[in-house]
Structure 1
């Protein structure tokens, strides 16, 4: 091929690149405007609630949770090959819960011998733990496992002559909050689905793959879900830290569904929340403070290898974008249709990020070639000064800076300043992970449609913190005293200020100043040790 032919080919390539730049920039601008609307709405809603809502309605306190009589709760944990984490998770949950009337049902497949053995070892130690054996070998789907657990719960109710007021969803790697069931107990049956925040456990600063979950969940569970709930009344279930009222579970299992969880959907949790909204039930996202700088939330380690992240996120995208559209279409009000569009656009915006990176790399390569060969042919620039594309790109750049600042702020609120600053490089890397996951989702779902290949439970490997790491979640003595209504928040604040000056142990100082009795201190210390200083 001659030099003139090469020139024609490369010029044609740059022309196609210019078209791709225009299309990508326009679509990214539309997505940015959408994101900016949620930003503005979130700020407006915060102002409205602070200056109008909270003046009219008293928000409930931790002591309100402790005073309410306990209802029965069933905790549902589906598993497949979770022998390395399920034992620690169950032990920590049973020792952590400040609640008495609950039972834990763990779904296990007959061919998952190690997980079954791990559960059977725990049953003599914790009578509230029960093995729910699936009727066939696995894996099938998470929904199928949950349906078998639900069936066994109903049988358990008949045998024990009790009735569960709520059903709680958790995974085998979750760290539960001690007051979680108290919160659900306070809200059910007035609310039919409660979702508490999910907080990824912090990874080292250099772990961009595992750490990017921190930033995404921080922004999503501080801003996005709060705005969505206010805008539509709909809250998507995260599949963990979710509580369902008995009314909700009954409706989910009513004809034509028969079983509560949709086995044809990889994101059965997302699907069930939309079905509950169709029934007109009350869904709530509950961010409840539980002490100094803490909220009631579910914490867990998320994957930190590329393969695991891509597998997990492609499953989410298939369930939400493809299966969600196939089964739910565009239901509900205009506002709900809008948030469904936001959910489903992820399969496209992830591709746009990859295209933007591709275009940027091409521009940099052309600049580099011209710098290294100044006497060679000078190609026309992709963006000419003064054309309409220039303000479009500047607008996208301004939105990009805004997105970065939002990500830094919300990550800082959850994890601190250093994590907030590192959210910027994590976001750049996270865009690549999301883009590759969306490509995999498109490939798998296309193969499913064309060849009929079944979509199975493509679960990721899980990890659970060791005993030393769990100590960081130990409830502080002062918070326990406040939760039990032995002292109030003002007393604790004054005591902590005095403690800084004297260095005296908090319990001893509260005793000397007459805030608490020796019996109250002794009971609280025993509760603190019982809940957290258990052997792993």
Structure 2
């Protein structure tokens, strides 16, 4: 094969990559422009007003009933104590209980949870009767059964169930706000705010702009459209009666153990059970969101694993398990709502295609660079850019600039203009992670199609934003016999894990 033939093939590949990536980038741009337009109209028309509350007043509000907070934990000894310590200090209410799910072969997490709880009776440690890790959904189901035992014993049902992760820093006003919002809904989601990480500004902080735009814009549009709202798995609350209905339909347990994103699926099934969903972007007196805050993974492999699980569970499993229409739509919803629901589910499931398009886009730029270098040696491209391709490239460059401005704006609103500028500079980092996560998710999905079981890959957490020195307290926790796989007194004391 001579040099001219090689150049012809390379030029053909370059042109096809440009066409494929350019056309799909343009389709994605039109999709985002529609969301941008709806959000702008909602803000300008007052249909999505900026809501604000005084945290002190909301925090002091008495809950309308008992609340249960579920926190599953596996190898979370670095953060769980700080999470409990901060939540107990932030929420002054007496009528809530934090159920912490730990495993019998994870003594470090159990001891850390006991240190964080101290002697506070608002914490229940639930020891799973199997070796970990199982799945997050399985651990949540264990917590649900423990709550049912408590309700039967106390003859006092809970009003709501709140979901959190072991690394979360809760907002002081969150519990009372969720309780109040459940007066008019069965599922409520508060925003999630990843925190910038000093010294980890490229990988650990790239989640900031993604959640700022998703929860600052897209979720607002979804809430107004009345489509199903995905649960983030943290900072969300479900009415107890609704969770009971879901559990009955699931054979006694509400969380799907064969789903990698059981929280997302739970939120999307609300309409199926006649539930109303709300997203509440409410700000405190200082202008900051009443939200769940946390540090997200700061290592490349961990970020890729986490996002691959999201893509696998939401895009690929979601297609199989949830379909394209909410069951509630089949009971009289109009065609416009069905169209909106299909649109939002399509956006949720674009991850694998987006990864492919991004890979083709970066492949085009790399190949173009190689051909430019070869051109310096006297070998010209066998094809020249025509007006249509030039227009496609120009439109996509303008669209990239438009998206960068929006991303920078939403990030700056939550984290300041320094992070807003970094959000633009981090776009290549975000895209590379998306490509790697999409490939990993697709391989994992093919494994399940061949008969394998979905693998739950836990995210490691080593830092907590509210970390403080823990008080020296005895390792004593009040644990019901019903929650333990072995026979011990109701009040147990543990020393070293040796």
Greater CA drift, 298-307 or 100-109: 100-109
Asked if 2 retains the 8 angstrom alpha-carbon contact of 1:205 and 1:422, the reply is no
1:345 to 345, 350, 361: 350
Task: State the 1:358 CA deviation.
Answer: 1.1
1:91 to 85, 88, 110: 85
Structure 2 residue 392 is the aligned partner of structure 1 residue 392: yes
User: What is the DSSP-based 3-state SS (H/G/I as helix, E as strand, rest coil) of the residue aligned with 1:30?
Assistant: helix
Structure 2 residue 36 is the aligned partner of structure 1 residue 42: no
User: What is the DSSP-based 3-state SS (H/G/I as helix, E as strand, rest coil) of the residue aligned with 1:347?
Assistant: helix
Structure 2 residue 273 is the aligned partner of structure 1 residue 279: yes
Structure 2 residue 432 is the aligned partner of structure 1 residue 438: no
User: What is the DSSP-based 3-state SS (H/G/I as helix, E as strand, rest coil) of the residue aligned with 2:249?
Assistant: coil
> Higher relative CO (CA 8 A, sep ≥ 6), structure 1 or 2?
2
Task: State the 1:326 CA deviation.
Answer: 0.5
What is aligned with 1:426?
426
Deviations 1:243-300 (A, max 9, x none): 1111221121022443100111100011011111222311111111222122210000
What is aligned with 1:362?
367
What is aligned with 2:157?
163
Task: State the 1:466 CA deviation.
Answer: 6.1
User: What is the DSSP-based 3-state SS (H/G/I as helix, E as strand, rest coil) of the residue aligned with 1:294?
Assistant: coil
User: What is the DSSP-based 3-state SS (H/G/I as helix, E as strand, rest coil) of the residue aligned with 2:433?
Assistant: helix
Asked if 2 retains the 8 angstrom alpha-carbon contact of 1:330 and 1:337, the reply is yes
What is aligned with 1:290?
284
Asked if 1 retains the 8 angstrom alpha-carbon contact of 2:81 and 2:114, the reply is no
Structure 2 residue 317 is the aligned partner of structure 1 residue 320: no
Task: State the 1:108 CA deviation.
Answer: 1.0
Task: State the 1:59 CA deviation.
Answer: 8.2
Alpha carbons of structure 1 residues 370 and 140: separation in structure 2 relative to 1, 3 Å = same
What is aligned with 2:494?
none
Asked if 2 retains the 8 angstrom alpha-carbon contact of 1:193 and 1:243, the reply is yes
Question: Cα RMSD between the aligned structures?
Answer: 2.1
Q: Distance in 1 between matches of 2:254 and 2:65?
A: 21
Alpha carbons of structure 1 residues 292 and 123: separation in structure 2 relative to 1, 3 Å = closer
Task: State the 1:453 CA deviation.
Answer: 2.4
What is aligned with 1:250?
244
For structure 1, list consecutive stretches of 5 or more residues without a partner in the other structure: 471-536
Higher helix share: 1
How many residues matched? 457
Greater CA drift, 420-429 or 5-14: 5-14
Scaled by the length of structure 1, what TM-score is found?
A: 0.81
User: What is the DSSP-based 3-state SS (H/G/I as helix, E as strand, rest coil) of the residue aligned with 2:232?
Assistant: coil
For structure 2, list consecutive stretches of 5 or more residues without a partner in the other structure: 327-337, 470-498
Asked if 2 retains the 8 angstrom alpha-carbon contact of 1:98 and 1:182, the reply is no
What is aligned with 2:382?
380
Q: Distance in 1 between matches of 2:60 and 2:68?
A: 19
Asked if 1 retains the 8 angstrom alpha-carbon contact of 2:62 and 2:93, the reply is no
1:302 to 289, 296, 300: 296
Deviations 1:469-495 (A, max 9, x none): 89xxxxxxxxxxxxxxxxxxxxxxxxx
1:153 to 147, 166, 179: 147
What is aligned with 1:459?
458
Alpha carbons of structure 1 residues 301 and 60: separation in structure 2 relative to 1, 3 Å = closer
Alpha carbons of structure 1 residues 379 and 73: separation in structure 2 relative to 1, 3 Å = same
User: What is the DSSP-based 3-state SS (H/G/I as helix, E as strand, rest coil) of the residue aligned with 2:290?
Assistant: coil
**Mapping of 1:12-411 within 5 angstroms?**
12-49=9-46, 63=57, 66-67=60-61, 69-204=63-198, 207-332=201-326, 333-371=338-376, 373=377, 376-381=378-383, 383-386=384-387, 388-411=388-411
User: What is the DSSP-based 3-state SS (H/G/I as helix, E as strand, rest coil) of the residue aligned with 1:199?
Assistant: strand
Deviations 1:409-448 (A, max 9, x none): 0000000011101111211210000110000000111122
What is aligned with 2:486?
none
User: What is the DSSP-based 3-state SS (H/G/I as helix, E as strand, rest coil) of the residue aligned with 1:209?
Assistant: coil
What is aligned with 1:513?
none
**Rg larger for:** 1
Q: Distance in 1 between matches of 2:183 and 2:129?
A: 32
Q: Distance in 2 between matches of 1:70 and 1:232?
A: 26
Asked if 2 retains the 8 angstrom alpha-carbon contact of 1:167 and 1:244, the reply is yes
Task: State the 1:49 CA deviation.
Answer: 2.2
